[in-house]
Structure 1
Amino acid sequence: MLFSQYASLFEMNTLDAWTSAVFGLAKGYGFDKCLYSVLNNKHEAMENAFIKSNYSPAWHKTYDEKHLALVDPTVHHCLNSNLPLLWEDKSFSGAAQKELYETAKQYGLCSGLIFPIHGARGEFGMMSFVAPKAKLAKSNKEFQHVVQTLSILKDHVFESSLKFIPKKTGTRPVCLTPRETEVLKWSTAGKSSWEISKILNCSESTVNFHLLNVRHKFDVSTTQLAVIKAIQQGIIHA
């Protein structure tokens, strides 16, 4: 284990140098593609994430425009677990997830390991390493070693990245965008995501994306709980 290489991440004074070093370390372990994403806390909207990746820019564009985080099982896993996940074709079930996977395959994203990040100061994120399925087979005697190595690397990447991420000072009240407030008000009125999409003349996935951001900002697991907190804070009225 080359801890001196990991420690060098803390010595990087520019974001470009740090990013290049991270990708270089990943490639040294046989992972040509990797993604690192982190939020200061779960109250932040997902579009505010600090992201460094050498995935195809076209894939990122597709992922963002179609709000695929809403159906991505790896994101759901990272939100609810501290354990790494081996993701492959079997990890994606249902029509929406399978469509996501088929699209990802077109960009060389067929299988990999993803590690959740839950920082001591409330940060949330993930780091994913892409590699051929054969390399990640659990029957491979090197698999456990790879998991342990990447887990340690992920910790060093996370801690060394913090100086590049703008810090939040103090605890600020939850602030919803006008669109998020509008979507939440209709949800409070008992409208479904499909009904709200028709009212606001947008896609159902867009409505769900706004509701997901609202839940993140209030740090709750359901829209109903978000509604309660929004009413308590005077953001909306019952």
Structure 2
Amino acid sequence: MRRRPKPVCLMGMCNALARFIEFVAGANSPADLADILSEITAGMGYDYFALTHHVDLQAAPGSTIRVHNYPARWVEYFDRNGLAAADPIHRASQQTAVAFAWQDVPEMISLTPQDRCILALAVDHGIGGGCTIPAHVPGEVTGSCSFATATGQTLPPGNLALAQLVGGFAFEGARRIWRVRTPGRNERPRLTDRQRDCLIWAARGKSDWEISRILEISEETVAQHIKQACERYGVQKRTSLMIHALFDGTISFADIARR
């Protein structure tokens, strides 16, 4: 087993993190971000990084984020078998908003035989242990930033908090770069205040007549507001409208629960 360099001192790591944040803010391309991530990854004591949306990138080329330095053989196998949605690490990231070590995944989700096979294959392809920082952005597919050691290497001790900071800033940097590369991708429908009010009351189970009494407008006006909101989202059913509006943050579960 080759010897891993000793971790840098806390002050040195803080300086490196400050430089990392500054460089990420100035990155203009995926290649720039990859170079910056390579440096900070090594400084934290890891060998690999992978920043990605949890979707099949072959089915949505160019519009989804992925920056990594994983072994090419593993990436080819991962993509060829469409593992983005099945990956147990990706699924575990749905259960938390903070960084987690891969060794804790069995406590976060129930692992199937296929899950165990995927994890074993990753080790066979050179990916050892690691940690993942989830990225949950309203209106977007979920993603994450992971840091991993090569197979056979020991994990750097006690740096989940640092990984959380690095992964969070890195993912935001990637989102900024991809917005420039794909303009208009993140544009969301905008509802008027009245459309939003009507939608919230409809989500609370109120009929158009009940909403009209609450908002002191006509029943026909309520129906028109909701119809126009559906048109802005490109949907026909109110249920679909509610789901889309919840997903992109236009309304929240707290709005619905509040009486």
TM-score normalised per structure 2 = 0.55
Quick check: 1:84–1:113 contact (8 Å CA) kept in 2? Answer: yes
From 93, 111, 124, the equivalent of 2:142 is 124
Equivalent position of 1:162 in the other structure:
175
Q: Does 1:85 align with 2:100?
A: yes
Partner of 1:152: 165
Question: If you compute each CA radius of gyration, which structure gives the higher value, 1 or 2?
Answer: 2
Change (3 A) 1:110 1:5: closer
Partner of 2:213: none
Gaps in structure 1 of 5+ consecutive residues: 40-44, 137-141, 173-227, 230-238
SS in 2 for 1:110: strand
Other-structure match for 2:19: 4
Sort the Cα spacing of 1:108 and 1:130 in 2 relative to 1 into closer, same or farther, 3 A.
same
- The match for 1:109 is 127
> Is the counterpart of residue 54 in structure 1 residue 72 in structure 2?
no
2: distance between equivalents of 1:79 and 1:89?
14
Q: Secondary structure of 1:9's partner?
A: helix
Shift of 1:114: 0.6
Between 50-59 and 81-90, the greater mean CA deviation after superposition: 81-90
- Letter matched to residue 118 of structure 1: H
Q: Distance in 2 between matches of 1:78 and 1:155?
A: 13
CA drift at 1:26: 0.9
Q: Secondary structure at the match of 2:176?
A: helix
Structure 1 residue 96, shift from structure 2 partner: 0.8
Cα drift, residue 61 of structure 1: 1.7
* AA matched with 2:91: H
2:99–2:163 Cα contact (<8 Å) kept: no
SS at match of 2:174: helix
Q: Distance in 2 between matches of 1:104 and 1:123?
A: 24
- Cα 1:14–1:77 change in 2 (3 A) is same
How far is 1:134 from its partner? Answer: 3.5
* Higher RCO by CA contacts (8 Å cutoff, separation 6 or greater): 1
Q: Which residue of structure 1 lines up, in the alignment, with residue 115 of structure 2? A: 97
Alignment check: 8 A CA contact 1:117 1:126 kept: yes
Q: Structure 1 residue 121: deviation in Å?
A: 6.0
Contact in 1 for aligned 2:100/2:160 (Cα 8 Å):
no
Residues 158-185 of structure 1, C-alpha deviations (whole Å, 9 max, x = no match): 222222212332349xxxxxxxxxxxxx
Identity %: 15
Contact 2:146–2:167, Cα closer than 8 Å, also in 1: no
Whole-angstrom CA distance in 1 between matches of 2:123 and 2:97 = 26
For the aligned residues, what is the CA RMSD? 3.0
Structure 2: tracts of 5 or more residues without a match: 1-13, 191-238, 241-259
Aligned residues: 164
Structure 1 residues 7 and 66, CA, compared in 2 at 3 Å: closer, same or farther?
same
